[in-house]
């Protein structure tokens, strides 16, 4: 997702998305360990997405 799309989401939606991404990240890491991972770049994308969402949450926390 793009940063503009993420900024439109509420805090609850961001927290939910973070947990979904972390669950997917766990599954990808597991399949990487077993040698079944097809797109290793997806791990990088998910890590960056989680970092973006956490950054947005932290910005909102500092504002209010």
Model pLDDT for residues 7-61, shown as the tens digit of each residue: 999 999 999 999 999 999 999 999 999 999 999 999 999 999 999 999 999 999 9
For residue 15, give every residue at least 6 positions away whose Cβ sits within 8 Å of its Cβ, in sequence order, or none.
Answer: 57
**Angle between helices 11-33 and 41-63 in degrees, nearest 10:** 160
pLDDT of 62 higher than 80: yes
Q: What is the pLDDT of residue 1?
A: 77
The contacts of residue 18 (CB under 8 Å, 6+ apart) are: 50, 53, 54
Query: Is 64's pLDDT higher than 90?
Result: no
């Amino acid at each position: 997702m793009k940063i503009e799309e993420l900024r439109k989401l509420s805090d609850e939606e961001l927290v939910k998305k973070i947990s979904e991404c972390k669950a997917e990240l766990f599954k990808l890491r597991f399949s990487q360990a077993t040698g079944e991972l097809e797109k290793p770049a997806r791990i990088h994308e998910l890590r960056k997405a989680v970092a973006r969402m956490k950054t947005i949450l932290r910005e909102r926390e500092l504002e209010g």
